[in-house]
Amino acid sequence: MPVLPQIAVIVGSNRRVSLNRKLAQALVRLGAGKFDAKFVRIDDLPMYNQDNEDNLPAEVVRFKNEIAAADGVLIVTPEHDRSIPAVLKNAVDWGARPWGKNSWAGTPAFITGTSPGAIGSALAQQHLRSVMTGLGMILIGGEAYITFKSNLIDDQGNVGDDGTRTFLQGFVDRFAALVAALTPQAERAAA
């Protein structure tokens, strides 16, 4: 039985009925058989404070361990005021710190997201790509800006629109291939 790569899924929203969480769940379904996914909490992380770097809060330790244990990271984020939502940027900052303990470096990632707006979280994604590239993540290329419409996710939790499903399947497949290429089977089996 092959050991599948482990993906940490981060939703950049702390809203109970987040559209981005629905999209993230549908993307995980598109990755079935290619990776195993674990949703990682960010809504319980305290506000970043450099004073706490010598004695990291328990939630931060848990979060950094979850990222470190993952073979890849899927980030599905809304756009807040044309940028990265504060709850997600807070998680990014904790992941990056303390100096020398950057949890993101060298990890493959797929960044996407949705918004009811026409440009589908494009600016938030672009800002996040800039930040995560600076932190050493290995991002898959291309642009997956998804405008949320009522038929985007169907009642079963799948991407409902054929064209969008095919489009997103391409991203998920390329992400899975990159993660598999960077994570040898032997290493996964030993984890």
Ligand X SMILES: Cc1cc2nc3c(=O)[nH]c(=O)nc-3n(C[C@H](O)[C@H](O)[C@H](O)COP(=O)(O)O)c2cc1C
Residues near ligand X (CB under 6 A) are: 13, 15, 18-20, 78-82, 115-117
Nearer to ligand X, 13 or 112 (CB): 13
**What is the 3 state secondary structure string of the chain?**
CCCCCEEEEEECCCCCCCHHHHHHHHHHHHCCCCCEEEECCCCCCCCCCHHHCCCCCHHHHHHHHHHHHCCEEEEECCCECCECCHHHHHHHHHHHCCCCCCCCCCCEEEEEEEECCCCCCHHHHHHHHHHHHHCCCEECCCCCEEECCCCCECCCCCECCHHHHHHHHHHHHHHHHHHHHHCCHHHHHHC
- Provide the minimum distance between the beta carbon of 98 and ligand X in the complex, in angstroms, as a whole number: 29
Nearer to ligand X, 159 or 176 (CB): 159
Q: Which residue is nearest to ligand X (CB)?
A: 117
- Provide the minimum distance between the beta carbon of 37 and ligand X in the complex, in angstroms, as a whole number: 17
- Provide the minimum distance between the beta carbon of 88 and ligand X in the complex, in angstroms, as a whole number: 10
- Provide the minimum distance between the beta carbon of 56 and ligand X in the complex, in angstroms, as a whole number: 27
Nearer to ligand X, 72 or 78 (CB): 78
Nearer to ligand X, 66 or 79 (CB): 79
